[in-house]
Amino acid sequence: MMYALTADTSHIEEEGVYDAKIIEFDGFEDVTFFDPSIDYQRQQGAPGVIEFVGNLENAARLDHLFTAPMGWLLLSRRMVRVLEAVGPFPHRLIPTVIYSESIRHLVRSGYPRRRTWYSVEDPALKNEDFVILQLMERTDCLDRERTLVKGVPFHRCGEEYLGEEEAEPLVLRPPPGGFPPVFSVPELVFYCYTEEARQACEQAGLKGLWWRPQP
């Protein structure tokens, strides 16, 4: 079984509420941290550290945060270590800092909203335990004949990419040596996680993860 992973939002009770919201920077709309061939910091001007404003209580107890507006894969460093212990996977970790909502007015201002020059020194007002995970290679493993989209083989269905649960079934051919714990497939717009990765995260007691089995 393969899984897609999204943040568990069961603790969020109001629409439009997130664990963390990005402090926007010029060109942020074009930064996805998803294409393995792009160094988004060197090639597209993304900051060396991606900054957010968020709920530090949630960040202290969760390992995957619900973010806006880009929905980047914001994972705890602890979760990355758990995945690395399952097996190797080429990746880049983009450092982040989440500032307390109580100082939102100090760290961003203007329109459009941008980072101010205010320096946050108090460790109680920030969390630096999360990173954005970017995989550095793709695994070409989709069975384009046996993967069906509304009953039609993928290579004949007219779609170029597939989202979560859009294929039934989703058939992946194991590469030599087997699947890494988390991997990217060229035709899929989400990362795939193995059963071993899911079990390792659950055994480690990680929180805030919603595993979505892919049919």
Write out the DSSP string of the chain. Answer: -EEEEEE--TT--STT--SEEE---TTGGG--S--TT--HHHHH---SSEEEEE-HHHHHH-SB--EESS---EEEHHHHHHHHHH----EEEEEEEEEEGGGHHHHEETTTTEE-S-----GGGEE--EEEEEES-----B-TTT-EETTEEGGGSS-S-B-TT-SSS--BPPPTT---SEEE-TTBSSEEEEHHHHHHHHHTT--SEEEEE--
| 88 phi/psi in degrees, rounded to 5 | -75, 145
What is the pLDDT, as a whole number, of residue 111? Answer: 83
Block residue for tokens 């393969």: 2
What is the pLDDT, as a whole number, of residue 112? Answer: 80
pLDDT tens for each residue of 99-117: 999 999 999 998 888 999 9
Domain ranges in the chain are: 8-135, 148-213
Between β-strands 191-194 and 91-100, what pairing exists: parallel, antiparallel or unpaired? unpaired
pLDDT (tens place) for every residue of the chain, 215 residues total: 999 999 999 999 888 899 999 999 999 999 999 999 999 999 999 999 999 999 999 999 999 999 998 889 999 999 999 999 999 999 999 999 999 999 999 999 988 889 999 999 999 999 999 999 999 999 999 999 999 999 999 999 999 999 998 999 999 999 999 999 999 999 999 999 999 999 999 999 999 999 999 98
pTM of structure: 0.93
